[in-house]
Amino acid sequence: MRAYLMYQEGREQTKPAFSYAPDALESDLELQRILKCMAGDDKTIYDACEDALLRPMQSVEAILYRQTVLRDAMQNPEAVRRMYAIAAAADQNNKYFLSATRLAETFANAVELLKRYTKMLRDLREVADRKISDFTSEGFKNLMEMLRRELTDEFFAQVQEHLTEMRDVDNILVSARLGSNLLSTDYTLRRKEKGFWLKWNLTPSYSVNAEKGAEELEDIRKRRERAISETTSVMTQSAMFLEGFFNMLRSELAFYVGCLNLTDKLRELGMPVCLPSLLPADSMDRSWRGLYDVSLALTKGEPVVGNDLDAAGKCLYIITGANQGGKSTFLRSLGQAQLMAQCGMPVGAESFTAPIRSGVFVHFKREEENWMKSGRLDEELTRMSRIADHLGAGALLLMNESFSSTNEREGSEICHQVTKALVENGVEVFSVTHLYAFATRFLGDSRTQYLRAQRREDSQRTFKILPGEPLETAYGEDLYRKIFVEQGVTM
């Protein structure tokens, strides 16, 4: 039994490749806070959502399939959460196998475990019976129909009959015949047919020698265990199969429960959420309304500023403007949205349309740390070289203050050469920079979109990123005035 909630049945089930440098992605794009909101204290949800988020899908059809399943989950949240709770309960059953030390104990534990799994299957069937008409997506429809088709009333009646018969391991029926030297042999597990107890009461008995009785009874016990070994093996395999099914179902449902949790929280904060539209990988068009940094909204616990964009035929975006104007926040919001969109998640925006990218990469400014064996510029160049080894046509690279650790002339030249080479090789680049000489090198290029952080004449930042060519100043004097003049800081 398969759920097919994450991937369409009949299509290749190989997972997309894992993102390069996942730790850098999670840190620079602040994905951990998003994942924690999705998971709460549930590690299964965290792991499932992290795995999906860092494995961007490469097919519009595959993303649409997952989106339709998610839309179903959003319309039936209680049923989805109920199924997840049922599947998650399987994790509590492992103790039955771990505690067994003898075959008879394993037999009894397998019976108890199958009873528990049967109850869970019945609970799932009840959800399917009540809710199948409410689900419209291929993924959930197939799951509901499979549960109703495989888990019939006849199935449960037969399973219950077998488990009831085997629930008392000390009173199961085993037959044997006398072999050579009057030793019992050919021990076989038997069903208790109708009239069994009458036959049992009329069966002749015999006595054993008190001195040799214990030894003979122990031999009978061992032979009896061999008689139930095959049945024990079958039941154990059945329990393991059901455990695998529930673990698979729990993992797939965990992703959708995580999406429900995140959507509920963002809507509670008054922030918009949408299912994005994905364009083919060869597209160079982007547009969105109200795109915002989801992690920032979760951190502040209140609405944050969103941004709009309409761009066609662009492969390079250069973002400049005033310090602390929201440029890095804008870059994070884009990276988050691209990953969320390509794993079928909802995006923090009123609307979001973007092309599929073969991978999302980040090259953010790093502060100099003790672990660095060389200077910051060397570290930046080394990191960029490693990223370049994994970049390919159709990738998305987010650069935040790259190569700003050296002087304006040198940093601009390095940044220009790197960016030009990337764009010429089919990589889409978003670059936040204060390097004026670098930013202006692409003026007049029709494939370049210039954006600038808005600053009002009274020096107030709106945190809006609007179309605009670079200015020679980043308005650092605003920060000086705010810190040293308005707050009365003295040196």
- Per the structure, the complete domain to which residue 327 belongs is given by 277-486
CB 349 within 8 A of CB 291: yes
Q: How far apart are CA 125 and CA 119, in angstroms?
A: 10
Residue at 44 is within a domain:
no
- Shared-domain flag, residues 256 and 307: no
* Domain tally, the chain: 2
Which residues are bridge partners to 430 per DSSP?
A: 317, 398
Helices 210-268 and 60-75, axial angle in degrees (round to 10):
90
The pLDDT score that the predictor gives to residue 202 is 64
Spans in the chain with pLDDT lower than 70: 11-13, 93-104, 166-176, 178-228, 368-374, 473-491
Do 226 and 374 fall into the same domain? Answer: no
Give the model's pLDDT for residue 478: 55
Question: How much is the pLDDT for 370?
Answer: 46
164 occurs within a structural domain: yes
pLDDT for residue 30: 97
**Which one-letter DSSP state was computed for residue 449?**
E
Query: Is 131 contained in some domain?
Result: yes
pLDDT in tens, 282-337: 999 999 999 999 999 999 999 999 999 999 999 999 999 988 889 999 999 999 99
Q: CA 316, 317, 321: angle at the middle one, nearest 5? A: 150
pLDDT at 183: 61
Same domain assignment for residues 236 and 195: yes
Give, in order, the Cα–Cα distances in Å from 245 to each of 8, 142, 147.
17, 15, 12
| Domain end position, chosen among 268, 298, 326 | 268
Does a structural domain hold residue 208? yes
**Distance in angstroms (rounded) separating the CA atoms of residues 441 and 104:** 79
Burial of 25 per CB tally in 10 Å (0-12, 13-18, 19+): buried
- Write b or e for each residue in 97-110: b if 16 or more Cβ atoms lie within 10 A of its Cβ, otherwise e: beebeebbebbbbb
Q: What is the dihedral of CA 462, 465, 471, 472, to 10 degrees?
A: 80
Is residue 253 domain-shared with residue 345, that is, in the same domain?
A: no
| Per-residue pLDDT tens digits for 117-162 | 999 999 999 999 999 999 999 999 999 999 999 999 999 998 888 7
Out of 218, 234, 268, pick the residue that ends a domain: 268
Measured between alpha carbons, how far is 242 from 315 in angstroms, rounded to an integer? 49
> Which phi and psi angles does 408 have, rounded to 5°?
-55, -45
- Asked if residue 301 and residue 264 are part of one domain, the reply reads no
Report which residue type is found at 408: E
Does residue 257 sit in the same domain as residue 282?
Answer: no
- Intra-chain end-to-end CA distance of the chain, in Å: 71
Contact 345, 355 (CB under 8 A): no
Give all strands (DSSP E) within 87-164, no chain letters.
none
Provide DSSP, 355-418: E--S-EEEEE-----TT-SS-HHHHHHHHHHHHHTT--TT-EEEEESTTTTS-HHHHHHHHHHH
Residues composing the chain: 491
**pLDDT (tens digit per residue) in 168-202:** 555 566 666 766 665 666 666 666 565 555 565 66
Q: Which residues contact 39 (CB under 8 A, 6 or more apart)?
A: 45, 46, 49, 258, 261
- Between 103-131 and 153-166, two packed helices, what is the crossing angle to 10 degrees? 160
Return the residue matching tokens 């035929």: 313
Instruction: Decide if 451 is inside a domain.
Output: yes
Residues 376 and 256 reside in one and the same domain: no
Q: How far apart are CA 67 and CA 69, in angstroms?
A: 5
The two tokens of residue 20 are 């390069």
Q: Which of 268, 293, 324 is the last residue of a domain?
A: 268
Do both 163 and 254 map to the same domain?
yes
Q: Is 135 helix (H, G, I), strand (E, B) or coil?
A: coil
Q: Is residue 418 part of a domain?
A: yes
The answer to whether residues 115 and 174 belong to one domain is yes
Count of beta carbons in the 10 Å neighbourhood of residue 172: 20
Distance between CA atoms of residues 15 and 13, nearest Å: 6
Q: Domain check: are 264 and 281 in the same one?
A: no
Among 349, 350, 307, 299, which Cα is nearest to 331's?
A: 307
Does a structural domain hold residue 408? Answer: yes
* One domain, residues 207 and 286: no
Which tokens go with 451? 């954006």
Output the domain CATH number for residue 368: 3.40.50.300
Q: Long-range CB contacts (< 8 A, 24+ apart) of 173-182? A: 174/224, 174/227, 174/228, 176/223
Integer Cα distance of 252 and 254 in angstroms: 5
**Rg of the chain in Å (alpha carbons):** 32
Which helix or strand (DSSP H or E) is residue 317 part of?
strand 316-321
Q: Which pLDDT value is given to residue 371?
A: 47
Could you give the C-alpha distances from 359 to 33, 35, 39, 226, 315, in angstroms and in order? Answer: 21, 19, 24, 56, 15
Task: Decide if 38 is inside a domain.
Answer: no
Whether residues 255 and 292 fall in one domain: no
